[in-house]
Amino acid sequence: MTGGLAISAEARAALTNWLAQLSALKGASANTITAYSRDVARYLAFLADHRGGAEGLHAVVQTGQSDLRAWMAHERGRGLEARSLARALSAVKSFAAWVADREGLEATTLLSARGPKYRRKLPRPLSVEGAAEMIDTVALQARDDWQQARDQAVVVLLYGCGLRIGEALGLTGAAHPLPQVLRITGKGGKTRLVPVLPAAAEAVARYVEACPYDLPRDGPLFRGARGAALNPRLIQLAMEKARLQLGLPATATPHAMRHSFATHLLSAGGDLRAIQELLGHASLSTTQAYTAVDAARLMEVYDRAHPRAH
């Protein structure tokens, strides 16, 4: 996990246990576990080098401001961007809070540390026409008819239901035929209910009818050429080819279809908090970043909801 980094056995064991708890109890994804492992291991290794030797948990948790500044300067010096450094600090603070709680230690200085400020890159959704063209064109990329139907069904779910690609590919045979309301398990193991448009149910039905493989209720709904679970990279590649044909920017990714879902709902007058629930966002600010409606359009939506506010 941490290679040959100079970390004490005590700190290494604590990191392993913390990551195991994140995975088992918090439902953290494999990518999150990998990123947190790397970030915290680098922090622990830096402290060991900075202070002249590996240290126990007490010293690690009670890091002072000067040590934290030195660590962040070191990370920026090796090319870490502000956004990545903020994420690393968040991982370190989460680890420190867990250790402090278990060991009865004080970690006020570390937990009160603020990360670098950065401007969140706003997603760039497709236009309504662009999304429709993407759905039509992505179906032309695969060689076999059933794979074309498969790719189109996945992209329709991303746009029509606002699913993450992992959520769409996580559906099992039990999801067919798609119900009017789909129960989705998203990040952190949280579930949400998502209305299913007839177009999405029809797209999935066309794929299932054409698929040459049996699709048992407990097996993956979407299959690759040899019958295994569909690799998300194949959907990404299909969209890359489609966007080149359509002259769309590199931001026209599978996740952009989800952005487009949120933006077009809000543009049509949808309620922001309802859209938050549909997307499965814990924070309303995250939902706001997923939408690309101009300020005037937002005010129109606000005025309809609060006609006496002015």
Active site residues: 164, 187, 255, 258, 281, 290
Q: Hey, what are 236's tokens?
A: 């990404």
> Is residue 309 one of the residues assigned to a domain?
no
pLDDT along the chain (310 residues), means of 10: 61 88 74 87 85 71 80 86 83 85 76 65 74 91 93 93 90 93 80 86 96 95 95 93 89 85 71 66 59 53 54
Residues 141, 76, single domain; the answer is no
> Is residue 210 one of the residues assigned to a domain?
yes
Residue-level pLDDT at 235: 94
> Is residue 118 one of the residues assigned to a domain?
no
| CA 239/CA 133 separation, integer angstroms | 11
| Helix ranges, the chain (H) | 9-24, 30-51, 57-61, 65-77, 82-103, 108-111, 128-138, 145-160, 165-169, 198-210, 232-246, 254-267, 272-279, 284-289, 295-305
Query: 235-268 burial, b if ≥16 CB within 10 A, otherwise e?
Result: beebbeebbeeeebeeebbbbbbbbbbbbbbbbe
Question: Residue 184: which residues within 8 A CB-CB, separation 6 or more?
Answer: 161, 163, 167, 191, 192, 193, 194, 280
Question: Residue 244: which residues within 8 A CB-CB, separation 6 or more?
Answer: none
CATH classification at residue 161: 1.10.443.10
CATH classification at residue 41: 1.10.150
Helix (H) or strand (E) holding 51: helix 30-51
Residues 46, 76, single domain; the answer is yes
Residues 68, 169, single domain; the answer is no
> Is residue 296 one of the residues assigned to a domain?
no
* Whether the model pTM is above 0.85: no
Helix (H) or strand (E) holding 191: strand 191-195
Residue-level pLDDT at 300: 57
Residues 138, 253, single domain; the answer is yes
SS3 assignment, position 211: coil
The whole-angstrom distance between residue 50's C-alpha and the CA centroid of its chain comes to 34
As for how many domains the chain has, the answer is 2
> Which residue segment(s) compose the domain that 234 sits in?
128-262
Residues 132, 247, single domain; the answer is yes
